[in-house]
Amino acid sequence: MTVVRAVARRLATAAVVLWAAATAAYLALLLAPGDTVDSIIGDGPDTPQIRAQVIAEWGLDRPDVVQYLDYLARAARGDLGRSYLLQRPVSDLIGEHLPATVTLAAAAAVTGVVLALAVALLTAGRRPLLRRAASTTELVLVSTPGFLIGIVLLNVFSFRLGWFPVSGGQDFSALVLPALTLALPVAGVLTQVLRDGLERALDEPFVVTARSRGIRERAVLARHALRHALLPAITLVGWLSGILLGGAVITEQVFGRPGLGQVTLQAVTAKDMPVVLAVVLLSAAVYVAVSTLADLAYLLVDPRLRRS
């Protein structure tokens, strides 16, 4: 019962945040300098017909409050307007390019998490030399811009070694380098958080108790310390989704991969506002959904929070 209430509260919070995010995006559009019609049309073709079409489609002749409510209602239904650059519904455009980006982000997420877990478990607590080497590598990875990682990987593995295609393509080998580019900084941050959590847990009295039962060090890590280390890592999952989506824009640019990133960049350059707004809102929605799931996962891992 208390669990149900906790879940309900988190879902309510998620809804509020999502609503506020949509409102903020809408406000940004309103507060933009110049006429709203200009902002929406951007660098697109500007004819009286198109202006009339924009006014009609966005209902710009209605009172602000009505416009705002209408915008919310349409966004809730998944109607995100039309791209003026490409003259087609934004939802179609996104639906078409989303799979490529999701594939990239998912591959990167899995790679990053697996790498981070492996390195953290191998270096936590002991083996000072290995630990030092790992933490220096992490520092470099999290401080390096994603595009530099991409270009270095491209230079080494595609140009010099010729193991992977230089750009484009949808097959697996074309996915490896972009996914790695996106995964490495993520792995850097996650490893730091996980190792820190592991080492903190290894200092706790319950680990002394566990060791005093004669279990192997592997079991101490896997059965006891790892769960505790996962808790702070789980809170990062929302942030992770943002990094992956934002990073996808740059990675797709570096590797010339089709996807949401290229669509977004094109829209930003062309001031195709409906598309930009839609992508930004979508990313916020992903963030909120993922964070809410992470919160619920937290409840699953930590029984102490289930009470209230």
Which residues, numbered 30-49, are part of the site for other proteins (CB under 8 A)? 32-33, 39, 42
CA 292 to chain centre: 14
Residue 246 makes contact with other proteins by CB under 8 A: yes
Specify the length of the chain in residues. Answer: 308
Residue 2 makes contact with other proteins by CB under 8 A: no
Q: How far is the CB of 30 from other proteins (least distance, A)?
A: 10
3-state secondary structure of 89: strand
* CA–CA gap between residue 3 and residue 305 (Å, rounded): 9
Going from the C-alpha of 118 to that of each of 59, 96, 158, 194, 255, the distances in angstroms are: 54, 35, 26, 10, 27
Q: Angle at Cα 25 formed by Cα 102 and Cα 107, nearest 5°?
A: 10
* CA–CA gap between residue 163 and residue 300 (Å, rounded): 42
Residue partners of 22: CB distance under 8 A and separation at least 6: 71, 72, 75, 281, 284
Q: How far is the CB of 284 from other proteins (least distance, A)?
A: 4
172 vs 204, which CB is nearer to other proteins? 204
172 vs 300, which CB is nearer to other proteins? 300
When binding is defined by CB under 8 A, the residue of 90, 233, 237, 277 that contacts other proteins is: 277
Residues 205-244 binding other proteins (CB under 8 A) are 205-206, 208-217, 219, 223-224, 227-228, 238, 241-243
Q: Residues 156-195 vs other proteins: string with x where CB under 8 A?
A: ---x------------------------------------
Q: Residues 104-143 vs other proteins: string with x where CB under 8 A?
A: ---------------------x-------------xx-xx
Alpha helices in the chain (DSSP H): 2-31, 36-41, 48-58, 64-77, 90-123, 128-143, 146-153, 172-202, 205-211, 217-219, 226-234, 237-255, 260-270, 273-301
Q: How far is the CB of 7 from other proteins (least distance, A)?
A: 18
48 vs 238, which CB is nearer to other proteins? 238
CA-based nearest residue to 257, from 108, 80, 73: 108
77 vs 213, which CB is nearer to other proteins? 213
Residue 268 makes contact with other proteins by CB under 8 A: yes
3-state secondary structure of 219: helix
When binding is defined by CB under 8 A, the residue of 190, 279, 294, 295 that contacts other proteins is: 279
Stretch near other proteins under the rule CB under 8 A, chosen from 66-74, 93-101, 103-111, 270-278: 270-278
193 vs 267, which CB is nearer to other proteins? 267
Residue 25 makes contact with other proteins by CB under 8 A: yes
Residue 28 makes contact with other proteins by CB under 8 A: yes
* CA–CA gap between residue 81 and residue 66 (Å, rounded): 16
When binding is defined by CB under 8 A, the residue of 250, 255, 259, 295 that contacts other proteins is: 250
* CA–CA gap between residue 35 and residue 13 (Å, rounded): 34
Q: Angle at Cα 295 formed by Cα 233 and Cα 204, nearest 5°?
A: 45
Residues 38-97 binding other proteins (CB under 8 A) are 39, 42
When binding is defined by CB under 8 A, the residue of 3, 15, 16, 114 that contacts other proteins is: 16
Residue 125 Ramachandran class (φ > 0 left, ψ -120 to 50 alpha, else beta): left
Work out the number of other CB atoms within 10 angstroms of the CB of residue 109: 20
Residue 20 makes contact with other proteins by CB under 8 A: yes
